[in-house]
Chain A
């Protein structure tokens, strides 16, 4: 029943309203007007009044535009031909390659049955001590990078993608600067990773509705690769742009906002995407790393706040470094018991001491006299920052742990760091000539 409708009653933001019958909720339609053809999706049915969200935006859509309902929900092509390619937020080629039309798959499909999930068990080695030692990344984890705009979160994402051992990289760009898109493309290309990458990129100049589609498309494609047995790493940047797109649409739909203009279902919307991360027993896996920019560097802003409640930890990127305070991988305990016996001890002790170092630093700036203990902490903090916090490193975990013991032994006495004696007996590095504090 491909009736064509010609009469649009209302246009507001990217939403158009018309009278039509036999329309299904979430079905797609093609909207053709003087400025071209765009897909649109049914977002509300009220009697015979149908509201559609136009992917390319309603700008230039006239009241006599043609609307043809397609009878199906949004789908994207899936095949190995996707690899090495770049597409827009509505899955049209962004590169010079051909349009793909075969083997269409649905997007935004139901979630994995929790009973079919397995406990994550494989560490993803990145060669970055701040991640491997302190915030171990685990296959099937979902982890955002919280950063203010301007921090190098995209280079960090790219670096992790290159150093991590994965089969397929799916990049979803939302509100990405065109330069950043080129940066990802070139970086992946130079290291030969482009041929195992597929990119769905919405740039800041593209229609806002396409921004909303990017995570669903990227994750639907990732899911198919994973079901084929591939280890997939999905990079989504920037999820705040995605949330802002949600906000924009919600406001056009006159929904009552919950916090700072964001819709009340922001949590559920974000969770539906992040929860696609999974390790399929007997098949592949999806690991999700995202960038979430924090407006005003404020982690209580609704987007990072809701994200933190969904993801399995977060990495704070501040002044080009992963901030040890607050950064967390919640899945780390699942894997760091099997790496090396001292992994957890080093991880906990070093962070605790680093926290004390920060306090001492504060005291120092206020001009207080430094005690012996403070002096030790200052030495420790400085070494920690230069040796453990460098993001440009590519060091195996074991070497990083050894380095941790060396720093501790050099800065402190074995009985003042709060490590059980059995452990220090084994790992403490004797430092001849060090005087007792």
Chain B
């Protein structure tokens, strides 16, 4: 078939208008040619609108030097990523170019027009077949596996294959490269197709060849007390973290990416600071995975399209990330996708919409913002695969609302579709009460690691304590009844030693399940004590001692003799208090 070609007739920012002959598809990829220092560069672009014989395309790179009359070639394909063994540990840009390899080729700076293959062609993988000639298979069923780190990476029937196929041949156990043919399949009409270990999938289409979607009912333990106990996340669920700048969104995600109880983490650094990705990128190889003891990098994929990288590629990057996450879900794994920040992605949409001169919605965001956000989070979920095993994609996205005000289009559209909301408050982060998840505003629809009724008791104390604090601002401490004052102190205790968690303390940064339960039990005991004090100073002093002893325990490593001692010290204090 003849390839469609065209020529540039307009350039405006990262948008070009192309006059073409032949057929083009919405979201089809093309390349615009431009003369570079060392020859012709081919800049990747995507069709975003077609009007008559003109296509508007967003260019994924800097458009400088493009001129009217420059040729454009269309590929006939939608924007797609490569799926196959070797994705783990990789650091890609938004279009799946491997950044370390780009650096090896181009040095310190990114260069436009340079694209590299996402997967290593020369790596040898130990393939073990799982089918034999004559077997009937359909899309996403396993043909064989290769070990990728600690996982059995399933080599599957390409997701785009429709209907039933018959295995004609499959290679024996042995080492193969990803482009090698590992099986030959025949369709209902007997037409044969060779299958390798790598397939391509268009990023904007969900992968749906599983048997059914399941409800997210299990807590995904993150080891952040405030989250797991009060505002839990579910395996296969969705949640968002809106917050003003500096409130701790990124730190929360970094902690989660390290400690969350999942098989694989995909990090989408979407339009935020490059320096933050670097921390992950340099530290993860050194850090042990809390579950396996292996390097954390072994279970991580980083999609990195930071703020100074091209805006159109930023728009693509969240889709690249969710496609890779969904791919590993098809292997029966639990995958966590963390996107920081979805607002930057929304802004990329806004920039494109502005250049297309579409009728703007609120704050100039396009009218379709809400459905685009909903569509993205809908790609999360727990699914039962065709072989009965279960996999999941959990999505957590940060939101960076203008002025820190949640009453804006991106936050509001996101809140409509997620299952948990971790709203960070400026007041808390200013007071260094980290994580700054607002205990009164936030919510979750997912089950906690502690029974609901018990959590509710503490939640009530937090709420009442806050009421008292508000009242005290008006009537002062002396105008506050002792009972109310004690409630206030109790809520402060819960906040200080349970909700607050120091990300930079070796011990306190992550609180495993057993540890959370142990401290919750004790805290519950203390909160239940009907204290009576002679004056408020005495009350304050007593609570200061509790706080101190809990903090000592929070910073004491498990499996040390001091651990039990510190625990016992709190218990003694509690016993004393209940008898006085």
Residues of chain A whose beta carbon lies under 8 Å from any beta carbon of chain B? 21-27, 44-48, 73, 109-120, 140, 227, 255-259, 264-265, 267-268, 271-272, 275-276, 280, 300, 302, 305-306, 308-310, 312-314, 325-326, 328, 330-331, 333, 337, 344, 348, 351-352, 355, 362-363, 366, 368-369, 371-373, 415-416, 418, 420-421, 437
What are 11 A-B pairs at a CB distance below 8 A? Answer: A109-B109, A110-B112, A119-B282, A257-B364, A300-B402, A302-B402, A309-B400, A312-B275, A373-B537, A415-B548, A437-B537
A24 touches B67 (CB 8 A): yes
The tally of CB-CB contacts under 8 A between chains A and B is 205
A309 touches B245 (CB 8 A): yes
B547 touches A120 (CB 8 A): no
Q: Which chain A positions have C-beta within 8 A of B347? A: 264-265, 267-268
What is the chain B residue whose CB lies nearest that of A276?
Answer: B308
Of the candidates A115, A305, A331, the one whose C-beta lies within 8 Å of that of B99 is A115
Verify if B64 is at the interface (C-beta below 8 Å from A): yes
Of the candidates A114, A227, A305, A337, the one whose C-beta lies within 8 Å of that of B402 is A305
A113 touches B278 (CB 8 A): no
Q: Which chain B positions have C-beta within 8 A of A369? A: 476-478
B430 touches A355 (CB 8 A): yes
What is the chain A residue whose CB lies nearest that of B98?
Answer: A115
Of the candidates B66, B402, B544, B555, the one whose C-beta lies within 8 Å of that of A416 is B544
B67 touches A352 (CB 8 A): no
Q: How many whole Å from A332's CB to the nearest CB in chain B?
A: 10
Verify if B214 is at the interface (C-beta below 8 Å from A): no
Q: Which chain A positions have C-beta within 8 A of B403? A: 300, 305
B102 touches A113 (CB 8 A): yes
Interface pick from B7-15, B159-167, B289-297, B330-338: B7-15
Of the candidates A112, A352, A416, the one whose C-beta lies within 8 Å of that of B109 is A112
What separation, in Å, do the CA atoms of A116 and B432 have in the docked complex? Answer: 32
Q: Which chain B positions have C-beta within 8 A of A22? A: 67, 69
Q: How many whole Å from B72's CB to the nearest CB in chain A?
A: 14
What separation, in Å, do the CA atoms of A257 and B62 have in the docked complex? Answer: 22
Question: With A44-B12, A415-B548 as given contacts, are A116 and B108 in contact (CB-CB < 8 Å)?
Answer: yes
Question: With A256-B360, A355-B430, A373-B537 as given contacts, are A267 and B476 in contact (CB-CB < 8 Å)?
Answer: no
What separation, in Å, do the CA atoms of A58 and B534 have in the docked complex? Answer: 78
Q: How many whole Å from A221's CB to the nearest CB in chain B?
A: 16
For window 467-501 of B, CB contacts with A under 8 Å fall at 473, 476-478, 496
Q: Which chain A positions have C-beta within 8 A of B307? A: 267-268, 271-272, 275, 310
0/1 string, B380-401, CB within 8 A of A gives 1: 0000000000000000000010
What is the chain B residue whose CB lies nearest that of A306?
Answer: B402
Question: With A302-B402, A355-B431 as given contacts, are A268 and B351 in contact (CB-CB < 8 Å)?
Answer: yes
* Further pairs besides A115-B102, A305-B404: 17, Cβ < 8 Å: A25-B64, A44-B10, A110-B112, A113-B108, A114-B269, A119-B283, A227-B108, A256-B364, A257-B364, A267-B347, A271-B271, A300-B405, A352-B432, A355-B430, A366-B476, A368-B478, A437-B537
A348 touches B432 (CB 8 A): yes
Verify if B110 is at the interface (C-beta below 8 Å from A): yes
A119 touches B111 (CB 8 A): no
Question: With A265-B311, A302-B402 as given contacts, are A111 and B477 in contact (CB-CB < 8 Å)?
Answer: no
The number of chain B residues touching the other chain, given as a range, is: 35 or more
What is the chain B residue whose CB lies nearest that of A314?
Answer: B246
Q: Which chain A positions have C-beta within 8 A of B275? A: 117, 120, 140, 312, 331
A113 touches B109 (CB 8 A): yes
Considering residues A119, A309, A314, which has the most beta carbons from chain B within 10 angstroms of its beta carbon?
Answer: A309
What is the chain A residue whose CB lies nearest that of B479?
Answer: A368
Q: Which chain B positions have C-beta within 8 A of A416? A: 541, 544
Residues of chain B whose beta carbon lies under 8 Å from any beta carbon of chain A? 8-12, 17, 62-69, 91, 99-100, 102-103, 106-112, 244-246, 269, 271, 273-275, 277-279, 281-283, 304, 306-309, 311, 341, 344, 347, 350-351, 354, 360, 363-364, 400, 402-405, 430-432, 473, 476-478, 496, 504, 536-537, 540-541, 544-545, 547-548, 551-552, 555
B110 touches A112 (CB 8 A): yes
Q: Which chain B positions have C-beta within 8 A of A140? A: 275
What separation, in Å, do the CA atoms of A165 and B245 have in the docked complex? Answer: 29
B547 touches A418 (CB 8 A): yes
B103 touches A116 (CB 8 A): yes
A272 touches B308 (CB 8 A): yes
What is the chain A residue whose CB lies nearest that of B349?
Answer: A264
Question: With A302-B402, A309-B400, A369-B476 as given contacts, are A113 and B106 in contact (CB-CB < 8 Å)?
Answer: yes
What is the chain B residue whose CB lies nearest that of A226?
Answer: B108
What separation, in Å, do the CA atoms of A333 and B283 have in the docked complex? Answer: 14
What separation, in Å, do the CA atoms of A330 and B275 have in the docked complex? Answer: 11
Q: Which chain B positions have C-beta within 8 A of A418? A: 496, 547-548, 551
A363 touches B65 (CB 8 A): no
Question: With A109-B109, A302-B402 as given contacts, are A25 and B66 in contact (CB-CB < 8 Å)?
Answer: yes
A46 touches B544 (CB 8 A): no
What separation, in Å, do the CA atoms of A344 and B187 have in the docked complex? Answer: 65
Q: Which chain A positions have C-beta within 8 A of B107? A: 113, 116
Considering residues B112, B245, B246, B360, which has the most beta carbons from chain A within 10 angstroms of its beta carbon?
Answer: B245
Q: Which chain B positions have C-beta within 8 A of A27? A: 65
Q: Which chain A positions have C-beta within 8 A of B108? A: 112-113, 116, 227, 280
Of the candidates A23, A306, A373, the one whose C-beta lies within 8 Å of that of B540 is A373
A115 touches B91 (CB 8 A): yes
Question: With A110-B112, A111-B308, A113-B109 as given contacts, are A23 and B99 in contact (CB-CB < 8 Å)?
Answer: no
What is the chain B residue whose CB lies nearest that of A119?
Answer: B282
